[in-house]
């Protein structure tokens, strides 16, 4: 074919493709503009950076991509508003990392932190689910959305102080079933205090899960207190 991408190029005229982080117009075959990619690269962190100042976690390991700020935070907001572009981009990057960190063929399935049914109905999507399903597809392993559920509450987690989050995390429930011997990849968007993922890990572990690995797009790293440097 002479112009294999002609249709895409023509579609690009009335409906320009936009960067998933800053909404700038970009060529039809890109997901994220060059500036945002460079900015994301500068925000790259490792799971160990988050885990360094935390106590022991109930999961067996984890992976994260970016520090939760600036352009990465914009991507997460776009994802929460239903934009699949950043979710797909992050899923591809996470899948690449997971492939190097653990053998994907040894993972039984991918699951994710759920959203309450009513909230899902009004939103029309669940961003951690979009992410989890995209990772499962990239790794060619099964995805399961039938294990965990969230009870509806009017509280918003990101507005709660850290100490209230573990109590709030009790709203997650296990739907039932035997997970004996299962090796599970558990997905969420942002790792903050870890209370949500701890609760979900405990529920899966109580049901018999043998190994649980977490994957999140971002993690909030505690900024060093400027006052400390004066000591």
> Which residues form the interface with Zn ion (CB under 5 A)?
19, 21-22, 24, 33, 36
Nearer to Zn ion, 37 or 102 (CB): 37
Instruction: Give the nearer residue to Zn ion in terms of CB position, either 86 or 112.
Output: 86
Return the number of the residue (24 or 51) whose C-beta is nearest Zn ion.
24
Q: What is the DSSP letter of 32?
A: S
Smallest separation, CB 90 to Zn ion (Å) = 14
Give the shortest CB-81-to-Zn ion separation in angstroms.
16
Q: Which CA distances in Å does 22 have to 19, 28, 230?
A: 6, 15, 37
Residue 185, classed as helix, strand or coil, is strand
Kindly report the CA angle at 31 between 20 and 122, in degrees rounded to 5? Answer: 45
**Least separation in angstroms between CB 175 and Zn ion:** 39
Looking at the Cβ atoms of 33 and 187, the one nearer to Zn ion is 33
Q: Are 143 and 136 in contact (CB under 8 A)?
A: yes
Of 92, 88, 90, 190, the residue nearest 139 (C-alpha): 92
Least CB distance from residue 96 to Zn ion, whole Å?
A: 21
């Amino acid at each position: 074919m002479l112009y294999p991408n002609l249709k895409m190029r023509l579609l690009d005229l009335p409906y320009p493709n936009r960067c998933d982080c800053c909404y700038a117009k970009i060529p039809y075959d890109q997901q994220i503009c060059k500036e945002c990619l460079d900015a994301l690269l500068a925000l790259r962190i490792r799971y160990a950076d988050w885990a360094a100042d935390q106590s022991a976690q109930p999961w067996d390991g984890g992976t994260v991509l970016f520090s939760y700020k600036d352009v990465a935070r914009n991507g997460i907001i776009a994802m929460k508003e239903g934009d699949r572009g950043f979710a797909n981009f992050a899923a591809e990057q996470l899948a690449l990392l997971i492939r190097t960190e653990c053998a994907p063929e040894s993972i039984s399935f991918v699951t994710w932190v759920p959203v309450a049914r009513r909230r899902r109905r009004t939103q029309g999507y669940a961003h951690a689910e979009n992410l989890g399903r995209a990772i499962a597809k990239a790794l060619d392993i099964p995805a399961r959305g039938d294990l965990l559920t969230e009870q509806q509450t009017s509280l918003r987690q990101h507005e709660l102080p850290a100490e209230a989050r573990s109590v709030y995390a009790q709203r997650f429930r296990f739907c039932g079933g035997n997970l004996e011997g299962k090796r599970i990849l558990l997905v969420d968007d942002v790792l903050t205090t870890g209370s949500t993922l701890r609760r979900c890990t405990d529920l899966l572990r109580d049901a018999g899960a043998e190994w649980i690995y977490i994957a999140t797009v971002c993690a909030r790293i505690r900024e060093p207190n400027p006052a400390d440097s004066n000591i």
